[in-house]
Structure 1
């Protein structure tokens, strides 16, 4: 099993035995599609969290600045300073959770899964059924595992940095 981010599904470490080369290719293709679906769902989640934090920071900063401009009212000045403190806290959330970095990581994984799926689909479509090379399919499976390995190790790096 590859080390996967929390909440993800385990990935098979080997291809099933006894399948014909074309069946093997279709099996790998379904695994690639599952990997891509995982990366896509996580990418959307991280993107929206990152955007929400950035927009919250922007709005709070703007409101704080406007309130500080109203210097004649002491309650407003206190509120403004409170909002500046909240902006500081909200700004600290993004690096802690690394949502933007994880969003970009999932973009990269999606690209790599798409590319592998396209390569496999083209190979299967352009090769006669009786000439599908199981070693070439296995090489693509190795690449599939490398995508997961890279995703997992980079995921851990971003989470440890937070």
Structure 2
């Protein structure tokens, strides 16, 4: 599997990855363009034999001066689920966050998304809050967080 930063040439493939999502959970082309040009890191996974066909993608959000990164989205193509793509993307996002000096990664996940919750828990995330009516359809979210071993930048 190849993991690399997403490029604007990937926008059609990124939109296609989310085709099976509920409409309110999908990013449109404009949002993808904004994510690819702002304070975000978008990583994609592809098979070496088909580098233009994405197996998955992950979006990390960063704010200047904040030692907390936000795992905003992980998407895996239906045919690639269960093959370690999400786990690899999550690890790459955590490495990116650590390299940027983040001390923790936080995320929100639908309370009904048991497979994602299991993935995050297995990766060391813990539930820190339940957010009632978080999503536009009224579903609750679990807020989860993982502490990272970020460099101390010389601090004791």
Bin the TM-score by the shorter chain.
under 0.3
What TM-score do you get using the length of structure 1 for normalisation? 0.24
More strand by share: 2
Structure whose residues are more often helix by fraction: 1
Q: Bigger radius of gyration, 1 or 2?
A: 1
Flag the structure with more relative contact order, 1 or 2, with Cα contacts below 8 A and sequence separation at least 6: 1
TM-score norm. by structure 2 comes to 0.24
